[in-house]
Amino acid sequence: MLDKQLQELKQLPEDKQLKEKIYRQLHTKKPKRFTGLKEALLLTIMIAIAFFLFILPPAQQTTTSAGDITLFTAFGGEPGQFFARPSTLYTGVYHEENEQLLDFFRTFDEHMIVTEDVKLGEHIADIVMIQNGKQTRYQMSDTYLLNVDTGVFYQGDETYEDAFNIAYTPHNDPGFAIFMPIVVIILHGVISNRYKKANITFEIPVKYNAPVIMGFLVIMGSSMFYHQQIGPIFKPLLIIFPVAFGLVMWKIIKKIAPSPFVYRMEMIRVLVSFGLLILLLWSM
């Protein structure tokens, strides 16, 4: 009975006027101005602008903490190069709140005496000190300290050694970085299992996958090289790349996913993978 009623719905009469109207509109409608990639780029730029507007207000970076002094440190400096910046929005820059180190810089003149031009030691920590609105750059090494702005070297007492040990401490959290691939592997396993249960075989074709992955690896590799060899990268700028590649992947999946189920699964994969990557970059 129900079958017969449903078959009757097939007899919906054709609306000739509507058919002609749509046909006319198809040939008069202007082509869309934005292709998928342009749309993704536009979205990325919009997100980046919003991000900058929310993150950039400099108040956080210039106000002093711990009374009258603020320190930003970068672990592992090089003679002739300076990696610290007066903001934690740069990769590898840490806002130092250790009271002992802050006290050392407050009483700098009591512990340090000017010495002739010497070479810094092998282990170096870069410091930006902001005191009463004035910014001074230092390089602390295991032997001497250099005021980068004036080029004057200093020799310190035992208090300096303690201060150096505090400043020369890496602040990365390796546990977080190890945790990420585990999450990604588990996620891929769960999705593969769901596909297996639903008897679906889906893979993004190499012609789509390969250029995106290659482009992503080249850009991220270049960024890491820049961070290691040249200097800190502004984090909001760095995060634009995974956001842009995430959007490109979204457009590809939207185009090729054979069913809403596959679309959902692949979007979860992209969101989690790129989300974790953004978290990792932000924590650098």
Rounded CA-CA distance 254/248 in Å is 10
CB 246, CB 277: distance < 8 Å: no
Site for other proteins in 90-129 (CB under 8 A): none
The answer to the question of residue 259 lying near other proteins (CB under 8 A) is yes
Nearer to other proteins by Cβ, of 14 and 116: the residue is 14
Which of these ranges, 3-11, 94-102, 159-167, 244-252, lies near other proteins under the rule CB under 8 A?
3-11
Among 17, 18, 158, 207, binds other proteins (CB under 8 A): 18
Nearer to other proteins by Cβ, of 106 and 251: the residue is 251
What's the min distance (Å) between Cβ of 278 and other proteins?
Answer: 22
Nearer to other proteins by Cβ, of 67 and 258: the residue is 258
Tokens of 205: 């074709």
Among 5, 17, 132, 229, binds other proteins (CB under 8 A): 5
Site for other proteins in 173-202 (CB under 8 A): 198-200, 202
Rounded CA-CA distance 137/95 in Å is 14
What's the min distance (Å) between Cβ of 189 and other proteins?
Answer: 21
What's the min distance (Å) between Cβ of 64 and other proteins?
Answer: 42
Nearer to other proteins by Cβ, of 257 and 280: the residue is 257
Among 263, 272, 280, 281, binds other proteins (CB under 8 A): 263
The answer to the question of residue 2 lying near other proteins (CB under 8 A) is yes
Among 128, 262, 276, 277, binds other proteins (CB under 8 A): 262
Nearer to other proteins by Cβ, of 27 and 134: the residue is 27
The answer to the question of residue 172 lying near other proteins (CB under 8 A) is no
Concatenating the DSSP letter of every residue in the chain gives -HHHHHHHGGGPPP-HHHHHHHHHHHHHSPPPS--HHHHHHHHHHHHHHHHHHHH--THHHHS-STTTEEEEEEES--TT-----SSTTBTTEEEE--HHHHHHHHTHHHHEEEE-S----S-EEEEEEEETTEEEEEEEESS-EEETTTTEEEEE-HHHHHHHHHHS-----HHHHHHHHHHHHHHHHHHHHHHHHTT------HHHHHHHHHHHHHHHHHHHHHHHHT---BHHHHHHHHHHHHHHHHHHHHHH-SSHHHHHHHHHHHHHHHHHHHHHHHT-
Nearer to other proteins by Cβ, of 36 and 121: the residue is 36
The answer to the question of residue 207 lying near other proteins (CB under 8 A) is no
Checking phi first, is residue 79 left (phi over 0); if not, alpha (psi -120 to 50) or beta? Answer: beta
Site for other proteins in 21-80 (CB under 8 A): 22-23, 25-26, 29, 31
Residues that bind other proteins (CB under 8 A): 1-3, 5-10, 12-15, 18-19, 22-23, 25-26, 29, 31, 198-200, 202, 254, 258-260, 262-263
